[in-house]
């Protein structure tokens, strides 16, 4: 092969290589493809646990003039679930010792604290607490009174105080104060300190 043919062949090969390189480079750099998009919105919210006393009613209660062996003094409360979800209902009672006691009277009342009882009745039956539990804040409450109360429905709870017939004169003309709380929890949950405080704040 003469030098002229060799020169033409070399030029063709070089030109072909450049063309292939340009084509290859063009394919790798574009990366184009078709696509389409549909767009929607995302929203979210949280529910709430909320109870209210029936119109015209209050938790404030005075169990007055209890007598040994006498008829119980009771009050019925109607509470409605105004939240978004089903709730469980609990009642929590607490009380302090009567003020102004001598050491001897205080000791006698402590020994007879089981004579003053509080029966708490709701959907789940009746549970009785005595003053021993209330005075000392011992185990006994909160008491579950209703289960799985649906939103927008109401329940009634009754608390009845009684003084046993064996209560002695040390109980005469005594008074004491305490608190009653109706507590709502998410269905299946038990009250916490936070829930207790929320219920107390709600009834202020």
pLDDT digit string, tens, across residues 155-194: 999 999 999 999 999 999 999 888 999 999 999 999 985 5
d(CA 24, CA 178): 88
Rounded average pLDDT over 7-13:
49
Which tens digits make up the pLDDT trace of 102-148?
Answer: 999 999 999 999 999 999 999 999 999 999 888 765 556 799 999 99
DSSP three-state, residue 98: coil
- Whether the per-residue pLDDT at 12 is higher than 50: the answer is no
Dihedral, 80, 176, 126, 201 alpha carbons, nearest 10: 30
pLDDT of 22 reads 47
For residue 105, what are the contacts with CB-CB under 8 A and spacing of at least 6?
170
- Classify domain 53-202 by CATH architecture: Sandwich (2.60)
Enter the tokens of residue 72. Answer: 């119980």
First to last CA, the chain: 111
pLDDT of 2 reads 54
> Could you say which DSSP state residue 57 is in?
-
Q: Give CA 109 to chain center in angstroms.
A: 36
């Amino acid at each position: 092969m003469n030098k002229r043919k060799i020169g033409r062949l070399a030029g063709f090969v070089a030109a072909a290589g450049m063309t292939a390189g340009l084509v290859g480079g063009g394919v790798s750099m574009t990366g184009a493809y078709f696509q389409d998009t549909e767009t929607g919105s995302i929203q979210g919210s949280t529910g709430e646990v909320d109870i209210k006393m029936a119109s015209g009613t209050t938790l404030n209660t005075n169990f007055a003039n209890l007598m040994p062996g006498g008829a119980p003094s009771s009050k019925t409360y109607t509470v409605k679930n105004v939240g978004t979800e089903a709730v469980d209902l609990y009642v929590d009672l607490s009380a302090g010792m009567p003020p102004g006691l001598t050491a001897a009277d205080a000791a006698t009342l402590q020994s007879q604290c089981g004579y003053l009882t509080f029966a708490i009745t709701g959907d789940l039956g009746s549970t009785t607490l005595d003053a021993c539990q209330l005075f000392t804040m011992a185990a006994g409450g909160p008491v579950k009174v209703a289960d799985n109360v649906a939103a927008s429905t109401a329940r009634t709870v009754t608390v009845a105080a009684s003084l046993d017939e064996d209560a002695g004169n040390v109980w005469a003309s005594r008074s004491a104060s305490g608190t009653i709380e109706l507590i709502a929890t998410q269905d299946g949950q038990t009250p916490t300190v936070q829930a207790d405080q929320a219920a107390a704040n709600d009834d202020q």
